[in-house]
Amino acid sequence: MSLRRVLTKLSGLGRHKHRCTICQRSCDTEQGLNAHMTSMHPTSRDEDAMDWQAAELLGVTRPSDVPAPGAALPEAPPQSPRAESDPGDDFFMPASPDRSASRQPSVEEVPDEYFEERNESAGAAYGECKVPFRAWQEAQHELDIDVYTPFADEDEWLFAEWLINSGIAQSETEKLLKLRKMQQLGLSFHNNRAFLKKIDSLPEGVGWTVEAIRVKGDRVGANNAFMFEDVELWMRNPVDIVKDLLGNAAFADYLVYAPFKTYMDEMKKGRVTGEMWTADWWWELQKRLPPGATIAPIILASDKTQLTSFRGDKQAYPVYLTIGNLPKGLRRQPTAHGTVLLGYLPVSKLEIFSTSKARSTATHRLFHYCMTRILEPLKCAGKDGVDVECADGFVRKVYMVLAAYIADYPERCLIACCKGNQCPSCTCPWKESGEPRPWPYRARDTILDLLQRGSSDKAFDAHGLTDVVTPFWAELPHCDIFQSFPPDLLHQLHKGVFGDHVLQWCIDIIGKDEVDCRLMAMPSHPAFRHFGKGISMISQWNGGEYRAVEKVFLGVVAGHPDKRLGQVARALLDFIFCARMPVHSDETLQFMTDAYDRFHKYKKVFVDHGRREHFKIPKLHSLSHYVAMIRLFGAADGYNTESPERLHIDFCKEAYRASNHRDYIAQMTTWLRRREAMHRFSAYVHWTLAHPLVVDTNSSTADTDSDTDCSLASFPEQAPSPLPQYALPKRPSFPRQSAAQIVKAHGAAGFVSSVQDFVKSTISAASYELCDDDTFDVYKRVTIKRTAPPFDSVTLVKDVIRATPSTPASSRRLQDRPAFFDTALVPLNPGVTHNLGLKEMRVVRIRAIFTLPERFHYEHPLIFFELFNPFHAVRSADVGLLRTTYSVRNGQKRVGIMRLDSVVRSCFLYPHFGDRVDRTWTSDTVLDVAKTFFLNEFSDDAMYAMP
């Protein structure tokens, strides 16, 4: 099975099996789907009484066998003799398939495309408990107070929630509440002090503690005594944080308590890995624990960050904690609060030490001492387990074990107690790090023994260790820190191997000016960043810019005389795009291995061109661990360092701005405590509204069971409205345009004859001539609404396609706005419209999006396009992309008209630049002047997964 076929099959994997095809809402059970259909689509249950007139308003096409009200079934329109008998004519007019017919409202069960193997004894419940928010709810009921208490009503609660989350300074809050208009609202708090007092009355989460640490230096002070420095460690109990996460009612529908293996067939072949509970680490550890044990895989992240933007040297060193029981998508979502701030490590230059080596050693030891103090409660919790009241109402014996540590490369070396030129995971020496040879992982006991012996042992230097006597992970049960570093997509791939190395090497070989010219000459596309000034002027890169360059990078290197340059670039991009997939199978992991081998096969091109002498690069070596780490912990996108870097904004930078910049860590913790209390209260309000308290008059206990989806507590899911396949603006961008105006503004040569041929073949063979007073409503863009396979068959992606003529500037200071006529993919065979491969489609360039004059009584929007030839059978030898050219007849581009709903999706074409780009080519004209084009298969995951 090919990689792309595997990716298509993986799109069926998921926890939700039952789906409503009216709104694409997924439900866990058939009962849940029936309840959804009854409440959200009551009229669609009776298919025999389907109101097709209403359905058409929702974007559902009336089947051909269903007559319109008061109308007889129309006869089939005559087919154009040109479209079938004369394929070499100048006009291409494929029959437009009724693609929207498949959106007929119905209920279906998504086929079960995977097979599971479960550990039946894992995650056992030992008793029942109240849902954590239920006790709060019952207390309010007994006191006969409103759910919004201590706030007066819903409006006051919403205002308080906005006020605490907006980041407004306390002085500005005071001014706001003192305004006369605000006083007239009758709020229960009239100034900032009263407001904060009300926030402080809310139930809080896990509390903060501070520990003073005295560091003794080697420099002698004025009194002939060694100098010392006092620092502070702010921390929270990790066991209490894990209890809080497992007991959060907002997560009840998302938490997973036991591992399982997933396969693509019933013979248990084709292992599938995505979330942590489907990977090997959890499964193997479960075997070593008592039957019925529940594992809480702890995921830590730490990274030092700058608090001041333009001046000052204020820094914070946050440590974050989350658990693998939560889905990775929820862990990455800052507003979900699935990742919690665990502590602030002290930041100090430690100038009490006389040498930089001594300061470095002291910094390493201080880090490990502080982490040891923070994680001290995990020693007993990981060894003996802890009884935890979980969000589903059951008590479990939970073993809290450090599973993974998200960190960049310097932080990993700090954690692993190794030097910066060593691999923190394996025993590979620096001199061998440039070759794709496997090396064994570092042995935990061996490293601990060497750290105790110190630098006097020869093996100490051979392993590249730093002088840390007792690392924080030494006594953590079931923790092998050297196998706890999952892939880091941002620093290792996007910024590391690609951005810092391969991109720069290719720029040196091709030439800086040439690379800039090629990027500037790339066509514009709504979904792509266009580098209108090249990339040589970019001084501050971020992950988004690296990913944007990756999408168009093959178009830059394509056509270079040394084909190995394109081959090594293609190998790296295959590895990157495959590594960031949210779901993996044995085939995708083998493809990653093959891409890794291909990269090393062709990397000598950089040596031959004088760009490198060796490849002893730690980040390049780290790629050798990706497949093993994905098998161990699940897909790499769940452990990207972008997530903790995003959390720096909420937990560090905004908190620092809210302080007076003196003793700021203490003020930051207070500010965060209040925000968390407000979030907890808001989650409780949502949960209570979704789970009203039902009192049994015949019993003293309240009913704690509810079939309501607990996800409504903090993550309200609104079913999307039924949508058509495409969306046009409510009003045409250019109403009542004559044919001559369209031809001139859109460069639509052949428009009139194409319209007449379409009308003749589709609507009326008798009356198809255009009149002088016929006008067309023209739209400058359309949004195609499509699903996002290969991994998400529910979420709708907005795919914008433009057909915009140039517009003059509104003032002398501005330039005229150029025209944008985007390219798209349409079926090669109009009779086949689903599950199309790339070679089963062809490219069109859309020149106009319009509707016919009213007198033709044809309601479907149409497109006027320029046609490309089918893709070449053989891919390009260097970058391995599909190639195409304009379809030309008698020296003229072939054009045609088809229905708008025939468009599958937009696409992006690379022009073939050759050895040197023509300096007259621009982004606005390149699609008109270039002869050969490559299809960009790296535009998004859906395109990359197409077979």
pLDDT in tens, 633-647: 999 999 999 999 999
> Do 797 and 671 belong to one domain?
no
| Res. 241: pLDDT tops 60 | yes
Percent of the chain with pLDDT over 90: 60
Query: Which is nearest to 939 in space by CA: 570, 558, 498, 528?
Result: 528
**pLDDT-derived band of residue 70, with 50, 70 and 90 as boundaries?**
very low
> Phi and psi at residue 684, in whole multiples of 5°?
-65, -40
| Residue 98 domain flag | no
CB atoms near residue 376 (< 10 Å)? 16
| Residue 942 domain flag | no
| Residue 289 domain flag | yes
- Mean pLDDT highest for which of 147-151, 153-157, 234-238? 234-238
Q: Which residue has the higher pLDDT, 203 or 35?
A: 203
DSSP string, 735-768: EEE-HHHHHHHHT-TTHHHHHHHHHHHHT-SSS-
pLDDT tens per residue, range 886-900: 999 988 999 999 999
* Across 182-191, 661-670, 687-696, 825-834, least confident range: 687-696
Mean pLDDT of 736-763: 92
Instruction: Pick the last residue of a domain from 683, 718, 742.
Output: 683
* Across 56-70, 116-130, 701-715, least confident range: 701-715
Mean pLDDT of 900-915: 92
- Using a 10 angstrom Cβ sphere, with 0-12 exposed, 13-18 middle and 19 or more buried, the burial of residue 21 is middle
Compute the distance between CA of residue 682 and CA of residue 644 in angstroms, rounded to an integer. 24
| Res. 86: pLDDT tops 90 | no
Tokens matching residue 625: 């661990």
> Cα dihedral sign for 652, 653, 655, 656?
positive
| Full-model pTM | 0.84
| Residue 12 domain flag | no
Helix segments in 532-617, DSSP class H: 543-557, 563-579, 586-602, 604-608
Compute the distance between CA of residue 757 and CA of residue 769 in angstroms, rounded to an integer. 9
> Do 182 and 258 belong to one domain?
no
**pLDDT-derived band of residue 815, with 50, 70 and 90 as boundaries?**
confident
Q: Which residue has the higher pLDDT, 375 or 136?
A: 375
> Do 276 and 404 belong to one domain?
yes
**pLDDT-derived band of residue 848, with 50, 70 and 90 as boundaries?**
very high
Residue 103: per-residue pLDDT? 28
> Phi and psi at residue 502, in whole multiples of 5°?
-60, -40
- Using a 10 angstrom Cβ sphere, with 0-12 exposed, 13-18 middle and 19 or more buried, the burial of residue 12 is middle
**pLDDT-derived band of residue 198, with 50, 70 and 90 as boundaries?**
very high
Compute the distance between CA of residue 706 and CA of residue 704 in angstroms, rounded to an integer. 7
> Do 413 and 285 belong to one domain?
yes
Coil, strand or helix at 334: helix
Domain that holds residue 547: 489-637
pLDDT tens per residue, range 210-231: 999 999 999 988 888 899 999 9
Residue 768: per-residue pLDDT? 78
Q: Which residue has the higher pLDDT, 427 or 833?
A: 427
User: What is the number of domains present in the chain?
Assistant: 4
Residue 118: per-residue pLDDT? 87
> Phi and psi at residue 167, in whole multiples of 5°?
80, 15
Compute the distance between CA of residue 119 and CA of residue 164 in angstroms, rounded to an integer. 44
Residue 257 half-sphere exposure toward CB, CA atoms < 13 A: 26
> Do 778 and 674 belong to one domain?
no
Compute the distance between CA of residue 403 and CA of residue 62 in angstroms, rounded to an integer. 54
Compute the distance between CA of residue 331 and CA of residue 295 in angstroms, rounded to an integer. 17
Instruction: Pick the last residue of a domain from 683, 718, 752.
Output: 683
| Residue 477 domain flag | yes
**Beta carbons within 8 Å of 309's beta carbon, 6+ residues apart:** none
| Res. 13: pLDDT tops 60 | no
| Res. 11: pLDDT tops 60 | no
pLDDT tens per residue, range 459-497: 899 999 999 999 999 999 999 999 999 999 999 999 999
Q: Which residue has the tokens 């998921």?
A: 14
**pLDDT-derived band of residue 114, with 50, 70 and 90 as boundaries?**
low
| Res. 253: pLDDT tops 60 | yes
Compute the distance between CA of residue 516 and CA of residue 534 in angstroms, rounded to an integer. 4
pLDDT tens per residue, range 595-628: 999 999 999 999 999 999 999 999 999 999 999 9
β-bridge partners, 803? 821
Instruction: Pick the last residue of a domain from 626, 652, 683.
Output: 683
| Residue 718 domain flag | no
* Across 76-90, 278-292, 461-475, least confident range: 76-90
**pLDDT-derived band of residue 691, with 50, 70 and 90 as boundaries?**
confident
**pLDDT-derived band of residue 363, with 50, 70 and 90 as boundaries?**
very high
> Do 621 and 746 belong to one domain?
no
CA 856 centroid distance within chain: 46
- Using a 10 angstrom Cβ sphere, with 0-12 exposed, 13-18 middle and 19 or more buried, the burial of residue 85 is exposed
**pLDDT-derived band of residue 196, with 50, 70 and 90 as boundaries?**
very high
Q: Which residue has the higher pLDDT, 436 or 725?
A: 436
Residue 366: per-residue pLDDT? 96
| Res. 108: pLDDT tops 90 | no
Mean per-residue pLDDT over the chain, rounded: 83
> Do 400 and 506 belong to one domain?
no
Helix segments in 691-750, DSSP class H: 739-746
| Residue 22 domain flag | no
| Residue 858 domain flag | yes
Query: Which is nearest to 861 in space by CA: 671, 666, 728?
Result: 728
Residue 705: per-residue pLDDT? 38
**Opening angle at CA 816, ends 812 and 820, nearest 5:** 165
| Res. 52: pLDDT tops 60 | no
* Across 61-75, 314-328, 361-375, 718-732, least confident range: 61-75
> Do 333 and 277 belong to one domain?
yes
> Do 505 and 581 belong to one domain?
yes
| Res. 53: pLDDT tops 80 | no
- Using a 10 angstrom Cβ sphere, with 0-12 exposed, 13-18 middle and 19 or more buried, the burial of residue 558 is buried
β-bridge partners, 779? 849
> Do 774 and 847 belong to one domain?
yes
- Using a 10 angstrom Cβ sphere, with 0-12 exposed, 13-18 middle and 19 or more buried, the burial of residue 902 is buried
Residue 769: per-residue pLDDT? 85
Coil, strand or helix at 324: coil
> Do 617 and 645 belong to one domain?
no
pLDDT tens per residue, range 428-461: 998 898 889 889 999 999 999 999 998 888 889 9
> Cα dihedral sign for 786, 844, 766, 753?
positive
| Res. 62: pLDDT tops 80 | no
> Do 177 and 287 belong to one domain?
no
Residue 56: per-residue pLDDT? 37
Per-residue b or e along 300-323, where b marks 16 or more CB atoms closer than 10 Å to that residue's CB: bbbbebebeeeeeeeebbbbbbbb
